[in-house]
Each structure stands twice: as C-alpha cells, then as structure tokens.
Amino acid sequence: MLAALLHVAAASAAKPAPSPSRLRRDLDRAASWTATAAYVARRRTEHAVPAHYARDALRAAVDGLSTATTEVARDAVGVADGRDLALRIDGARRLVDALVVAIDHDDAVAVAASVGPLEAAANRLGSTP
Amino acid sequence: MKKLGELSLGIVTGVGGYLDISSLVTAAQAGATFGYRLLWAAIAGGICAAFLCEQAGRLAAVGGRTVSDAIRERFGSTYHLLLFAVVLAVSLLILPIEIGGTCVALQFATGIGFQWWAVPVAFACWLILWRGSFAFVEYGVSSVSLVTLCFVAAAWWMHPEWSDVLRGLLPSRPDHDPTRYWFLAAIIIGASIAPYLFLFYSSGAIEDRWTSDHVGVNRAIAAIGMGFGALISGAALVVAADAFGPRGIGLDHYTQLGLLLLDAMGPWGFWLLVVSLAVACLGTAVEIALVAAYMAAQGFGWPGSQDAKPRDQSRFALVYTGAIVAGTIPVLIGWDPIQVTTVSLALTALTLPVAVGPLLFVMNDPTYLGEHVNGRLSNVVVVAIIALAFVLAVVTVPLQIFGS
C-alpha cells in the first residue's frame, strides 16, 4: 500500500495531464491479470493445470499487477479516485501474492478460497468507468 | 495413389508451416480483444498464402526452379542479395520466437525456466536438419503437427454462436480500439504470407522432384494445405474469443497461452496445448533455418539439398547451423517470445513487397512457365497481394507504435 501511495505521489509531481485512454488500457490490463489469476486458481483447484505452471502464471500476474499499479498511479493524476484505483490494483496484487504462497504450500483450501475474491476484484476493475 | 499421398503431405505441410507461435499468439490476442471480428483476416491470409504457394509450386514444377532461383536469374544477383538479406534478417527475428515457443512449451511441461531449454531445443532442431532427409523433415515434423487440429475440436466443443462466427468472416469496423484492431488485422495477414512460407514450399517442390505433371496436384495441395492452416488459425481465434473474451483476459505474457484450451478440454487441453506448441514451433524453426540455407545456396550457386550429406555441402549446413545458433542467443538471454512477436511480424510485413513483387514478373514469363504462365485471376490476386503488402509495409510500424 505504501508503495502504491508513493507511486501516486511521485507520479503526481512528475506528470501534469491525465490521459483517459491510457488509464483505460492500464485498468483493462490490471483486470486481465486479476482475471488470469482467478482462472488459474480455479483450474488449479480442479487439478487441470500442474502446480509449477500455476506458480509461473501467478508470478507473471504479480509482476503484471505491480506494473499496472505503477502505471495507474502515473496515468490517474488529476482523476477523481485515481489513488483508490491504484490501491485497489495493489490489493489484487497482494491477493495473488498470497495465492502463490498457498500454491507453494499446496494449500488447496486457501487456493479455493481466493477464487471468489479475485473474480470479484477482476469484475470491479473491468467495470470501472 | 502417389499423388494422393502428396495431397495429404500438402495438408500436413500447411498445418505445420502455418500454425507457429506467431500465428497462435496473434490469433489469440485478436480473439480475446475483438471476439470473432477478425476471423476475416485469418481467412484472407489463408487465401493469399494459398495463391502464393500455388504459384511457387507451379514455378518449381514447370520451370524446375525455386522462387529464389528465378528471382536471381530475372532480376540479377544484386536484387537477390537484397532479398536474401531481408529474408535472413526476418528469419533471424522469427527463429528465436519459434525456438522460444518450443522452450515455453517445455517450461509448461516441466516447470524449468524456458531459457534453460534453449540449447537442447536448438540442438534438436539442428540434429533434425543434420541427420534427417527432406522427406523426414516434411513427413515427420509435419505429421506430428497434425496434433494442432485439437484447436478445431476445441472450437467446436466451445459451442460458439455460429451466426456471430459467420459474421466475423466479413470485414467489419471495430466497436472499440480501432488502432489495435487494424494492427492485429495487418499482422494476422502479414504472418500468413510471410516470405519464408512460399520460399520453403518452392524449395520443397524441387526437393520432391515435381514435374509439370504436378500442376493440378500442386493447386490442390496449396489450397487444401493453406486452407487447413487458416482453419486452425481461425479456430484458435474462436477458442480465445470464447475462453478469454468473457473473462476479460488479454494475452500479455506467454504463461497465459497455457490456459487457452482448458475450457474446451480440461486437463487434456493443457497437455494438448503443450504438445501443439512444442511441435508447431519446432517444425517452423526447422523450416526457417532451412529456408535461410536454401536461399544462400541458391543465391551463391552452392550445392544445397537436404537429401545430400552435410559433408558434401558444408556451406549449406553451415548456414542453417549459424542461423540456429544466432536464433538461440535471444532465448538464452530471456527474450519473452510474445513481446517480440508483434514487433517481428510488423517487420515481416515491411519485407513483403521485396519478396512478393518480383513473383508477378516471374510468373508471367513464358521462359520459365511456358503455357502455364499466370492467368488473369492469378495476376489480379497477386497484384492485390502486392498492393496489400505495400499497405501492410507502410501501416504496420505506425500502427505498432500507436496501437501498443
């Protein structure tokens, strides 16, 4: 959260004008990564994908969401709720991070429990106007 | 019966040559972002590829020359050198993507990072060329590539809205993100008519010792082979549209490819995708390395046949060995195949006029083709492809810059 706030502050100082189309693309990308993580988790609970693949895909999602947090913080300067958007994406990143740990420990209950919140987060990000 | 065998050979060659990681990635990106709306581009690319391959095959069967040979004779060594340089540059960009695609499949299967697979995959690619005859490359690699038909089965099992699928066969304007839409359309078509495909096809026809008796069979081989390729590419687009589109999943990273067939086929889908990706990419890597060697041999007058022993044609073997080594380095240093794919396809589109333009002149020269010179329809289509090639060459790089 602190990192996201710092990103927002740094970007606010650096960039004067917001770009709505770029912000839309950042949000879509964040929603895509969150949806990917939810889908991987769901398929892992069904044993449709091996654990090592799920781990790789989720780590890529963590990286993608970190980048999205930075980009949203940069591109949402001057946009109402811009900071909340960055924090929401950072929240999704932390959920995926926890999911990687759950898969590392072969904790099927934690993996199954993360599917719903991730799907909800992806829907919220995707439908953000 | 023998010619019937060659017909099936054309089908598997089309499948093997067409569905590489570039086509798969662009089709999946198009489906995930625009649903079925870009199906027309896959079909248009298939039609263009069929016409180009038919002409390349006819030239080999009747004129006894590859496209590369004829261009060198008709336009001189300097132009051929330019063509060779351009094809080699593009090949060295695409080769790492295909070697990387095979490595990514092995990473999916084992969990070992794709960079670690670069050397074994490159060695396998080289060994196929070093030890295998042309028939082995053609039948062996391409027959295994038939596994990519799983995309057609998956598209069927996804129960898509067939009326929407049919609507997607007609070009339409996008309802969002027009720059990205046209960029994807350009690279889907550009990937389908990549010069290495018809250069390989004509060299293959020479290796198979086609004669003018093959003119009719060649037409069927080109049409059915490339038609199969376009069908599979279109099927991948439909699967991505149904599996990724509703969830809002884009395709930003190679790991997301592993999810493509899960909705349709469950756990089998994951492993079928792994095998399809590995086989199709390895087959394409072999083809591209071979095209570089063929072009060098045909341009510089060296002996160059995949059926001869490497010790009898060391320079031919050296070119494909060098191409494979050069293609392995970017994978070793960790290029993400998906990130490089769109850039390399945009650059491939830039090279199309250089390769396709001279074909029109060669195909109308009775010195090479006698009574089998192009008819009006073939000429109209090649002129349209050349015009398209120019448009693609002009628009893809700006669209890449503004659409990404």
ipTM of the complex: 0.86
Identity of the residue in A36, A48, A60 whose CB atom sits nearest the CB atom of B267: A48
Other residues' Cβ atoms within 10 Å of the Cβ of residue A2: 7
In sign, the C-alpha dihedral spanning B132, B133, B134, B137 is negative
Cβ contact, residue pair A126, B248, below 8 Å: yes
pLDDT at residue B401 in the model = 66
Average pLDDT over residues B106-115: 95
Place B298 in a pLDDT band, splitting at 50, 70 and 90: confident
CA distance A101 to chain B (A): 16
pLDDT at residue B12 in the model = 56
**Mean pLDDT across chain B:** 87
Examine the pLDDT at B16 and tell me if it is beyond 60: no
Average pLDDT over residues B68-89: 90
Residue pLDDT, tens place only, B353-376: 888 889 889 999 999 999 999 989
Identity of the residue in A39, A64, A122 whose CB atom sits nearest the CB atom of B252: A64
**Chain B contact probe: residue of A44, A49, A100, A127 with most B CBs at under 10 A:** A49
Residue pLDDT, tens place only, B231-270: 888 999 999 999 999 998 988 888 999 999 999 999 999 9
Of B148-152, B366-370, B396-400, the poorest mean pLDDT is in B396-400
Cβ contact, residue pair A55, B111, below 8 Å: yes
Helix (H) or strand (E) holding B40: helix B39-58
Kindly give the residue spans of alpha helices, DSSP state H, lying in B149-194. 150-157, 162-168, 178-192
Average pLDDT over residues B125-136: 90
Examine the pLDDT at A22 and tell me if it is beyond 50: yes
In chain B, % of residues over pLDDT 70: 93
Residue B277 forms contact with A (CB below 8 Å): no
Residue B131 forms contact with A (CB below 8 Å): no
pLDDT at residue A92 in the model = 92
CA distances B175 to A19, B37, B165, B248, Å, are 20, 10, 16, 16
Examine the pLDDT at B93 and tell me if it is beyond 80: yes
Average pLDDT over residues B120-144: 88
Residue B404 forms contact with A (CB below 8 Å): no
Place A2 in a pLDDT band, splitting at 50, 70 and 90: very low
